[in-house]
Amino acid sequence: MRPNVQHQRLFLHNHSVGLYCREVLDVHRLRVFRSVVASGSVQAAAANLGYTPSAISQHLTALQRETGLTLLARVGRGLRPTAAGHALAAEADRVLARIGAAESLIADLRTGRTGALSIAYFASVGGAWMPFVVRRILTELPGVRLDLQLREHIPDSREERADVQVVVAGNGFDPGSGFTTRHLLDDPYVAVLPAGHRLAGQEEVDLADLADERWIDNDFARGWCRANLIEACTAAGFSPAFRVEAHDYPTALAFVAAGIGLTVLPALGAVHLPDDVTRVRVVRPTPIRSIHVVVQDAVEHTPAVRTAVAALWESAGAASGR
């Protein structure tokens, strides 16, 4: 007897489109179904795909028979997906995207190109390092297709993780099975001050000397980097009184340039400073964040990954002066 899957989520993972009893879902029928859902009618889907309406209807009938589900309901002259149809359409999008990526990879391999590379990074690395890293990769490997992702955290799902990801984490953290990490840089925090500030001419400043200043928050997400700063302030005997909340480093720096107050952030976030501001090292204590690169073991030997990691290491070396 066919199981009742009307109220179950339809899992169609990776290369396996899915099994219902002994029948395998036909990928071509999934494409036809998605076209009908997107266009709203058999006639429109037929025109878009270059088929006859009869052929489209036959594919839909076969797909509903294979799944044992009512996927579409007629509304006037058009069709509307049922709840099961919406669920299958959403999952079909992920399946078809995976198949499209596989087809692109096959085309790359056939033509001798080196394939694709995904790199995830957080915002301050994007501004400071990624232009050099991307230029290096595309200069040495012009056939590589890059997928760049702005991401602050490592995804829980292995399937969602990039080939290479730059992360902030403590030394000795575990990247998970199938991944290897390499420490790139210890990034000390600096105070960014208006050029006319009383402390602007100093080489360094005790964190406690900033306790009574007007602080500009620079981490709306309340992430690890902000928590690290708050912990250092607590160790210095105070809690910063944030007067203005900025969502990111560039906005906080613009507020400093406007004379609103000061902000304290990792040095990498203060690489590109606006006019009329200056940076001063923070000491006693010096908050530090550790930057690592995480690589999928399955692709670590590929030229694209090796080039990316080498470029990141070179960028980190230039930032640290090593």
Q: Is 294 helix (H, G, I), strand (E, B) or coil?
A: strand
Query: Per DSSP, what are the bridge partners of residue 253?
Result: none
> CA 121 to CA 226: how far, in whole Å?
17
Residue 157's SS3 state is coil
Q: What is the pLDDT of residue 201?
A: 87
> What is the pLDDT at residue 23?
53
Q: How far is CA 100 from the centre of its chain?
A: 20
Q: Which of 117, 98, 87 is nearest to 27 (CA)?
A: 98
Phi, psi angles (nearest 5°) of residue 133: -60, -45
**Cβ pair 115, 105 in contact under 8 A:** yes
* C-alpha dihedral, 36 to 53 to 65 to 84, nearest 10°: 20
pLDDT tens for the chain, residues 1 to 322:
444 433 333 333 333 344 333 456 788 999 999 999 999 899 998 999 999 999 999 999 999 998 999 999 988 878 899 999 999 999 999 988 888 878 877 776 666 556 789 999 999 999 899 999 999 999 999 888 899 999 988 998 888 999 999 999 887 789 999 999 999 999 999 999 999 899 998 999 999 999 999 999 998 767 788 889 999 999 999 999 899 999 889 999 999 999 999 999 999 999 989 999 999 999 999 999 999 999 999 999 889 999 999 999 999 999 887 6
- For residue 118, how many other CB atoms are within 10 A of its CB? 18
pLDDT at 4: 41
- pLDDT recorded at residue 110: 66
Q: How far is CA 140 from CA 89, 107, 223, 317, in A?
A: 40, 20, 35, 20
pLDDT at 158: 87
**Total-model pTM:** 0.66
- Give the Cα separation of 214 and 5 in Å (integer): 59
Burial 44-69 (b: 16+ CB within 10 A, else e): bbbeebebeeeebbebbeebbebbeb
Task: Return the residue matching tokens 């006019």.
Answer: 275
DSSP secondary structure of 231-259: HHHHHTT----EEEE-SSHHHHHHHHHTT
Give the angle subtended at the CA of 316 by the CAs of 314 and 319, to the nearest 5°: 110
pLDDT the model gives residue 113 = 58
Q: Please say whether the beta carbons of 2 and 68 come within 8 A.
A: yes
How far apart CA 178 and CA 37 sit, in angstroms, is 38
